[in-house]
Amino acid sequence: MDDLLRGMNPLRYISGEQYTLVWKTLFATILQGFWGRLLAFSLLLLSFWFGVRRRNFATASVFFALALLVTFAAPLLRLLGLL
């Protein structure tokens, strides 16, 4: 189990500066405008589908949290001066 978790750590493959640059670029380009709205809407739709139709509230909660992250992470990072 420890090897699996270590293998999932992205800082094992790239440096901390590159990792930060990847997320800054994502939030500055893809997660803004049309594509960010489409992704957030899709995640909200999946949250609704799994919560209401499938009655799988754990999966619905994960999709809802991801929608919130896509929606509010970029403004929060801008507010903190990280983007």
Interatomic CA distance for residues 8 and 31, integer angstroms: 23
Say how far apart CA 21 and CA 25 lie, in whole Å.
6
The pLDDT score that the predictor gives to residue 26 is 80
Q: What is the per-residue pLDDT for 62?
A: 94
Give the mean model confidence (pLDDT) for residues 7-30: 85
Find where tokens 């790239």 sit: 14
Reply yes or no on whether the pLDDT at 30 is more than 90.
no
Comparing 81 with 37, the larger pLDDT belongs to 37
pLDDT tens digits, 34-73: 887 888 899 999 999 999 888 889 999 999 999 988 888 7
What is the pLDDT confidence band of residue 33, given thresholds at 50, 70 and 90?
A: confident
